[in-house]
Chain A
Amino acid sequence: MSITVSNISKSYKSVKALENISFNVKEGELFGLIGPDGAGKTTLFRILTTLLIANEGTATVADFDVVLDYKKIRNNVGYMPGKFSLYQDLTVEENLNFFATIFGTTIEENYDLIKEIYVQIEPFKDRRAGKLSGGMKQKLALCCALIHKPKVLFLDEPTTGVDPVSRKEFWDMLKRLQQKGITILVSTPYMDEAALCDRIALIQDGKILQIDTPQAIVKHYPKKIYNVRADNTYQLIKSLKTYEYNHSVYPFGEFVHYTDRRADFNPKDLIQFLESNNLSNVEIEKTVATIEDTFMELAK
């Protein structure tokens, strides 16, 4: 196992940031922690990267204990915090050189690992890190986290606030790093990114809701789920919420995802109800649950 987490809890005064968290990450796995801000993701990252000590429980990273062997862990992991943490007044190249040097290596020694990412920012190697665009900062931070060839890579919300195109590129990069044998633990608030991980843990309010492969998680969604559409989405949502048999009503892109409390639900009844509420062009069809549907069902 590359990462083991056993019954970890952490509180800040009266706030329980993590409550009895346990999971394992296999070697070479791309494991995602999926949850909104405040779920406890960053606290968990800080415990695993030895920057914070848990109140209860144990954890190992690359077979080292996070408390007893913290120095060894620091040599064997790369950590990209959610907040940009490089030296703003050093240039791109200086930052990279600095991180290589403190880990006792050189840029040349591990260049093959970062090459593909670094070439994209190399034209700006003399620019101060503070003057880079968001996307370039992110790439530089990833290079700095990789320069000592870590066994395990920790990425805390690397794509938050990043547009869909750059997010897709970033995930393509992660997949290629994974192929080079690096174990990756990544957190994200974007549910659509969950599908790109080997396994995921859904996390909210310091608790893990479920751990499994993305495919298995959506397969275990407990209800039949329907796409509903009508001419006026706002009225549609309002009407669905007043329907006495509704179990959940969530806008989902151009549709509203609807589940019913009854086992013998007949969509025709709902169409009739909506039409009697003055909605026009009502359409209902069965659809497949997404990770986000599952998350909301579990968090309800």
Chain B
Amino acid sequence: MSGAQNPSKRVEVRAPMSGVFYRRPGPDQETYVEVGDPVRKKQVLALLETMKVFQSVKSPVAGKIMEIAAQNEAALKDNDLMFVIEKA
């Protein structure tokens, strides 16, 4: 499902706490990333809003987005899967 060919290169990005998941910085702005996009380490992938505080979700590695597991504006629980990345 994730599409990652090499399991050893599969990196999961999970929610550090519960919160609302946003794929774009504002309602009428572009998404941060799409499936297939190359990403740098520390590149912002999404925002997570918890109790009115926003934190940016950053890529832990350089690589390629294989899967976006969370829906935009979904309420995520702590440790829910957000992204699958194939490490470069």
Q: Do the two shown chains form a genuine complex with each other?
A: no
